[in-house]
């Protein structure tokens, strides 16, 4: 029994630097909270978030341009009111062309409600 224990300690003493290095690499590379694998995951998350930032910046620029257009041009307000909310002038009729019957019915009902509210 003591010879096996002695052999074990001899192996440990002979390869103590190699064992320490392997254990250290395992801790830093895979097990630790700041491991290499976590860093790769964080880099991937950062890339996705940067893509989202670019997307939201583009949306912000488009919305800012639309807002500036609305502030400068009163015809743009009329255009949006007609397209999105089916508003009309007194001497106009609105025709909604759609292949989807339910959407067309809802649009007509919405236009009628707005027309009734205006009167």
| pTM for the predicted model, two decimal places | 0.49
d(C-alpha 26, C-alpha 32), whole Å = 9
**To which residue do tokens 């027309």 refer?**
115
Q: How far is the CA of 57 from the CAs of 52, 66, 70, 103, in angstroms?
A: 8, 14, 20, 32
In whole angstroms, give the CA distance from residue 37 to residue 40: 5
Phi-psi region of 108 (alpha: psi -120 to 50; beta: other; left: phi over 0): alpha
pLDDT at 7: 86
pLDDT for 26-71, tens place per residue?
Answer: 887 778 777 888 888 999 999 999 999 999 999 999 999 988 988 8
Q: What is the domain partition of the chain in residue ranges? A: 1-34, 35-117
The pLDDT value recorded for residue 85 is 76
Residue 49 or 114, more confident: 49
**Span 9-24, average pLDDT:** 88
- Rg (Cα) of the chain, in Å, rounded? 35
pLDDT greater than 60 at residue 119:
no
Report residue 117's pLDDT band, with 50, 70 and 90 as the boundaries: low
């Amino acid at each position: 029994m003591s010879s096996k224990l002695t052999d074990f300690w001899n192996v440990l003493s002979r390869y103590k630097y190699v064992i320490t290095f392997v254990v250290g690499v395992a801790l830093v590379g895979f097990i630790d909270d700041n491991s290499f694998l976590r860093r790769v995951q964080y880099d991937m998350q950062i890339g996705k978030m940067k893509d989202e930032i670019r997307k939201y910046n583009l949306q912000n620029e488009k919305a800012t341009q639309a807002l500036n257009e609305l502030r400068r041009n009163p015809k743009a307000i009329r255009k949006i009111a007609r397209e999105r909310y089916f508003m009309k002038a007194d001497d106009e009729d609105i025709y909604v062309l759609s292949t989807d019957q339910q959407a067309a019915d809802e649009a007509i009902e919405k236009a009628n409600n707005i027309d009734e509210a205006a009167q």
